Amino acid sequence: MAGHKAASASSKKAAATEPSTAHKRKRDVDTAHTASTPSPTKKHKKRPSLSTSPVENDDATKKRRKLKDALQGDDSPKKTGKESAVSPKRSKARAADSHDRVSEKRKKSKKSKRKTSEDDDGAADESEAVNGEPMDIDGADTKEPSDDDGEPQPTKNKHSGIMSKFERTKTVASAKAKKKPRAPEPEEEVTVEPVVAQGLEPLPQPENPPEIEETPTYSSLPAWLANPLRTSAAARSKFADLGIKPDLLRILEEHNYEEAFAVQSAVIPLLLQGEENHPGDLCISAATGSGKTLSYVLPMVTALPARPAPRLRGLIVVPTRELVKQARETCELCGAGSRLRIASAVGNVAIKDEQKLLMRMEQVYNPAMVEQRQRGLQGNEWMDFSILDCIDEAMNSSSTLPGHIRSPETNVDILICTPGRLVDHIRYTKGFTLKHLEWLVIDEADRLLNESFQEWVGVVMDSLNERYAPDAWGPAGKFFAQMGLPIETKAPQKVVLSATMTRDISKLNSLHLENPKMVIIGTEKAVVDEDPSATNQDANFTLPATLHEHMVTVGDGSQKPLYLLHLLLSHINISADLRAPQPASDTSDSDSSSSDDETSSEGTSSDDDTSSSGSDSESDSDSSDSSSDESSDAEESDADSVALVPNIGPPRTTVLIFTKSSESASRLSRLLSILHPPLASRVGTIIKSNKSSASRKTLTAIRRGQLSVIVATDRASRGLDLPSLTHVINYDVPTSATTYVHRVGRTARAGREGSAWTLVAHREGRWFANEISKTLDGRIVRASPIDRVQLKVDALGSLKAKYAAALDELEQEVRAG
């Protein structure tokens, strides 16, 4: 019983321990396989130990044998003890199951081993070669323990491929080892056969073009503004070399234009048809009095042949009436004998009178319109109805050709006008159109673009664009449109000029310039000083090289009239001019102006009725010229046709004095007369309150040598061309560098000598130094620096008493009205 219990206990214990034993056995099997499964990393570490450590080798062999026995059911003392505790049936099943799993794993293991060994042939072969004898990677399976006899198993044949690889590798390695110490072979002598070109000689190649180093530009201006065409102000050339026609050359010669000035030499070839022609618009910046007017008038007159039926083909826009007249005189001079019809339009003439001069009625073939008129107006057609047209049509119907209508057309080839009056004609003159325009000149462009003048730029640009509308070309245009053909019309050649040219691209863009080119006439200093990154505010202005500038300090400015008088008498020496014999006095004022007008009319082109200047004397009306600036300009500088009045007598001293306002100009002229009575009959004014006839008389008188001093406002600062003017005095400092340049530019014109004097009070000194007289980095480029003049105060002492009396007299006059 005790034995049975013991047996039963032993049986229970065995049953209780069985799972752990089985698990242990299974782990052993796995471990054995894992150990024998080569992995690329393990292989290199373990393989040497296989051959070098026999102890380990024995252990592994023992393990493998144990595993084999376990799989085959071999008895071993330990195993037998344990097996006896397990039921034979379960043990058998477990053994069979275990065997299946192990054999499956072995198969897998072999497969992967074979694959790995194939992949790593090189590495395996190498390690085998190192050991000196072929090693079986499969250790446990392939190198079966030989038991007693030690004979190799037939399974070894399976690795014959590996063996052969090993042999090959060995052979290659030994061959490499032999090769290493090989001495360098002696070089064979190479004989080069001579090359026969046989007509395949290389063609001569051109030399590589020189590499152009591009310097980056940081200018904010477009290329055409940043890189202008520059010409020295000293350049001169013959008119004949510029492509001017012989008949024009003859005219120039007659008027003593011997050689072309710099601006004319640069610009005329660009505008005339020829090799140097610039296919685009031009912006021209050149000093005052440098001859800009002739530089555009000559090419324009050359390019516009006279036509039996005039069309408006040339338009010159300038800011003041005085400039209109000067430009017109130059046009008439150059267009003499060409039969071109030249006219001007300014605000002092009633627009209806001007319309009669500028327009004509023409018979135009338009059967559609004739038919429309015959059947009567329908629908929207009433919108265009005009009773005046209807009356005109009825009165002239007998003389109208069949299928034709009477249509108003411009009757001039070249028109010179102020912007305000141009806008009036575009808006209110029937048939006035710019669609035929071939030349558009904008002189004193910076001023015209800075001020609105009834938004003239937009109105003119819109009118120019009309040419692209089929309707603008009547039945022919409509026919083209129906055929799907575009209206082929060329944009006019635009020429934009100023002595103080703007570089404000937004303003220039408003003119819709095409392929523009900037031409700058200036000294080398201007080229060096100009900052490429400059904007319009930094544009440099060049003064005439023949201009001498002076600055006169006048203390606090309270005694400026005395300083002025002292300057006139001692430095400018006006007294000598006053003592000189006077030219014969002119007739009455009215006669003077009318005779000027007649002279102007005679100087016009073929048809006198195109000369609108003839009506200047008839009316000073500025009614439709509503632009206040322009209107006032015109009032002040309305000096009719003075350029045609020849300068009489020897060269004299003539002075133009600028003041800040009309009031101070008129007071100053009176004060000078009181202070120095000999001046009384020699002083004139050009001021706002002057009637146009008064201004005209003043300018005529100075041209005739009857006046020595003109006191004027800035209205006279632009465009006034008085060849006799020798001195300009800035009694009041100008408001800007631009104004200064135009004021002093009234003298030293066309290569003549001239002097400019500026009276500067203490409080104005800093501004004057920074804006006007600065030579380094200054905006104004001049040939020589401004001369500083100190007037002797002692000399003023004697005048002081006179001055006090003169002020009293003036005060009484003002009170008296």
Ligand X SMILES: Nc1ncnc2c1ncn2[C@@H]1O[C@H](COP(=O)(O)OP(=O)(O)OP(=O)(O)O)[C@@H](O)[C@H]1O
Distance CA 205, CA 640 (A): 70
Q: What's the min distance (Å) between Cβ of 232 and ligand X?
A: 16
- Strands across the sheet containing 547-553: 683-686, 709-712, 655-658, 727-730, 754-760, 547-553, 787-789
By CB under 6 A, residue 419 contacts ligand X = no
Give the CA angle between residues 602, 608, 434 to the nearest 5°: 125
Residues 639 and 600: their CA atoms lie apart, in Å, by 12
Task: Assess 723 for contact with ligand X (CB under 6 A).
Answer: yes
As a whole number of angstroms, the distance between CA 759 and CA 30 comes to: 117
- Indicate left, alpha or beta for 515 from its phi (over 0: left) and psi (-120 to 50: alpha): left
Choose the stretch contacting ligand X; rule: CB under 6 A; options: 73-81, 225-233, 288-296, 768-776.
288-296
- Of the residues 109, 288, 463, 695, which one makes contact with ligand X according to CB under 6 A: 288
Residue (293 or 302) nearer to ligand X, CB: 293
Q: Is 522 in the site for ligand X (CB under 6 A)?
A: no
Compute the least distance from the CB of residue 596 to ligand X, in Å.
Answer: 17
User: In 3D, which of 311, 502, 316, 487 has the Cα closest to residue 411?
Assistant: 311
745 part of the interface to ligand X, by CB under 6 A = yes
C-alpha closest to that of 726 among 656, 785, 665: 656
Residues forming beta bridges with residue 397, ordered by sequence position: none
Q: Per DSSP, what are the bridge partners of residue 260?
A: 237
Q: Residue 289 CB, nearest distance to ligand X (Å)?
A: 4
User: Residue 60 or residue 260: which is nearer to ligand X going by CB?
Assistant: 260
| Full DSSP string of 360-421 | EEEEEE-HHHHHHHHH---GGGGGG--HHHHHHHHHHGGGSPTTEEEEEEE--SEEEE-HHH
Minimum CB distance to ligand X smaller for 411 or for 542:
542
Tokens standing for 532?
A: 């490429």
CA distances from 348 to 271, 589, 609 (A): 33, 18, 17
CB nearer ligand X, residue 318 or residue 665? 318
Q: Of 162 and 441, which has the nearer Cβ to ligand X?
A: 441
Could you tell me the smallest distance in angstroms from the CB atom of residue 292 to ligand X? 3
CA nearest to 329, candidates 590, 589, 33, 601? 601
Nearest to ligand X of 292, 782 (CB atom): 292
* Shortest Cβ 731–ligand X spacing (Å): 20
C-alpha–C-alpha distance, residues 370 and 91, integer Å: 129
Tell whether residue 757 is a contact of ligand X (CB under 6 A): no
Q: How far is the CB of 749 from ligand X (least distance, A)?
A: 5
CB of 261 to ligand X, least distance (A): 5
The residues pairing with 686 across neighbouring beta strands, listed in sequence order, are 712
Give the interface segment with ligand X, choosing from 424-432, 513-521, 662-670, 745-753 (CB under 6 A).
Answer: 745-753
* Shortest CB 786 distance to ligand X, Å: 20
**DSSP run (H or E) holding 760:** strand 754-760
Give the span between the Cα atoms of 60 and 48, in whole angstroms.
14
Shorter beta-carbon distance to ligand X: residue 260 or 426: 260
Q: Identify which of residues 228 and 289 has a Cβ nearer to ligand X in the complex.
A: 289
Which of 248, 262, 272, 294 forms a contact with ligand X (CB under 6 A)? Answer: 294
Q: Considering only residues 237 through 276, tell me which ones interact with ligand X, judged by CB under 6 A.
A: 257, 260-261, 264
Which residue in this structure is represented by tokens 């800009």?
A: 292
Cα distances from 766 to residues 219, 613, 761, in angstroms, run 30, 46, 10
Q: Which of 15, 173, 401, 750 binds ligand X (CB under 6 A)?
A: 750
CA-CA distance, 50 to 738, in Å (whole number)? 105
The window from 52-60, 152-160, 630-638, 717-725 that contacts ligand X (CB under 6 A) reads 717-725
Segment near ligand X (CB under 6 A); pick from 285-293, 372-380, 488-496, 684-692? 285-293
Out of 408, 603, 719, 734, the only residue in the binding site for ligand X (CB under 6 A) is: 719
Provide the minimum distance between the beta carbon of 437 and ligand X in the complex, in angstroms, as a whole number: 22
Q: Which 501-520 positions form the footprint of ligand X (CB under 6 A)?
A: none
Close Cβ partners of 267 (under 8 Å, ≥ 6 residues apart)? 282, 284, 295, 296, 299, 519
Least distance (Å) from ligand X to the CB of residue 295? 8
The reply on whether position 301 binds ligand X by CB under 6 A is no
- Residues in contact with ligand X, total (CB under 6 A)? 19
Closest CB to ligand X among 67 and 286? 286
Nearest distance in Å: CB 499, ligand X: 4
Determine which residue in the list 293, 693, 706, 747 makes contact with ligand X, applying CB under 6 A.
293
Per-residue contact string for residues 452-491; x = within reach of ligand X by CB under 6 A: ----------------------------------------
Q: Does 96 bind ligand X (CB under 6 A)?
A: no
Residues paired with 237 in a beta bridge: 260
Q: Rule CB under 6 A: is residue 583 a binding residue for ligand X?
A: no
Part in contact with ligand X (CB under 6 A); list of ranges 163-171, 291-299, 602-610, 627-635: 291-299
Looking at the DSSP bridge assignments, the partners of residue 362 are 407
337-374 burial, b if ≥16 CB within 10 A, otherwise e?
ebebbbbbbbbbbebeebbebbbbeeebebeebeeebe
Please check whether residue 288 is in contact with residue 741, taking contact to mean a CB–CB distance below 8 angstroms: yes
| Site for ligand X, residues 169 to 208, rule: CB under 6 A | none
Amino acid letter for position 630: E
- The SS3 of residue 257 is coil
Contact pick of 139, 291, 419, 614 for ligand X (by CB under 6 A): 291
Return the number of the residue (32 or 737) whose C-beta is nearest ligand X.
Answer: 737
Phi first, then psi, for residue 441 (nearest 5°) are -110, 130
Single out the residue of 721, 747, 755, 756 in contact with ligand X (rule: CB under 6 A). Answer: 721
Residue 499 in the binding site for ligand X (CB under 6 A): yes
When the beta carbons of 286 and 437 are compared against ligand X, the nearer one is: 286
Question: How big is the chain, counted in residues?
Answer: 817
Rounded distance between C-alpha atoms, residue 66 and residue 74, angstroms: 9
* C-alpha–C-alpha distance, residues 297 and 276, integer Å: 18
447 sits near ligand X (criterion: CB under 6 A): no
Q: Which residues contact 560 (CB under 8 A, 6 or more apart)?
A: 554, 731, 759, 761
325 belongs to the binding site for ligand X (CB under 6 A): no
Q: How far is the CB of 726 from ligand X (least distance, A)?
A: 14
Applying CB under 6 A, does 740 fall inside the site for ligand X? no
Residue 544 found at the interface with ligand X (CB under 6 A): no
The residue among 330 and 617 lying less far from ligand X, judged by its C-beta, is 330
Q: How far is the CB of 728 from ligand X (least distance, A)?
A: 12
Q: Using CB under 6 A, pick the residue from 116, 290, 493, 553 that binds ligand X.
A: 290
Q: Which stretch binds ligand X (CB under 6 A): 143-151, 568-576, 646-654, 719-727?
A: 719-727
Q: Does 715 sit near ligand X (CB under 6 A)? A: no
Asked if 289 interacts with ligand X (CB under 6 A), we say yes
Sites of contact with ligand X (CB under 6 A): 257, 260-261, 264, 286, 288-294, 499, 719, 721, 723, 745, 749-750
